[in-house]
Amino acid sequence: MELLEGIGTRTSPLKLSEPAPSAEQLEQIIRAGTRAPDHGRLRPWRFTVFEGTAREKLGDAMANCLRSRVPNSPQEHLDAERAKAMRAPVIVVVGAKISKGKIPEIEQVSAAAAASQNMLLAAHALGFGAMWKTGAAAYDPAVKALCGLAPEDHIVAIVYLGTVASPGPLVEAPLDIKRL
């Protein structure tokens, strides 16, 4: 797939299913993330892969996050939160490990975001669907810890990967360009 065609046709699917990317394809997708621009060459991105039954650990952490925010959450809400980790065969949590120093934190977070976008484009080029999600769990210290991140680090994206079962709409965004 030609680069501009891939960018122009990528969309977030509504639903993903098996098959997942193979181990080799998943490595290609993640390696594409490491080609993101990175001021200071800090390589702030961290990738945590959840597949198979490991997704249950993420689901439990997401449900516990909801329980801590809303202590009287009904069981069906906790179950729905837990089920989010099962909506794709592979999940890659993209974190930004923050290094204190001369490179501003926002630039390190932006590098991890660029890594996430590269991954979405690589998945699309390989014929897979990818959704970028976050939600309250992305800000939870226990979820961060599960991913090897410290409380001051950031979860930038929870990338759901799989085969497109239901495509999402291709929405044209208006260009907001100011020329001087």
Residue 152 maps to a domain: yes
Q: What is the CATH number of the domain that holds 37?
A: 3.40.109.10
Residue 180 maps to a domain: no
Per-residue pLDDT, averaged over 35-59, amounts to 97
Q: How many domains does the chain have?
A: 1
Beta strand 90-96 pairing with 45-51: antiparallel
Residue 159 · residue 107 · CB < 8 Å: no
Residue 37 maps to a domain: yes
Residue 52 maps to a domain: yes
Residue 3 maps to a domain: no
Residue 1: per-residue pLDDT: 82
110 has a pLDDT exceeding 90: yes
Residue 177 maps to a domain: no
91 has a pLDDT exceeding 90: yes
Residue 173: per-residue pLDDT: 84
Q: Which domain holds residue 29?
A: 15-166
Residue 74: per-residue pLDDT: 95
Residue 175 maps to a domain: no
Residue 10 maps to a domain: no
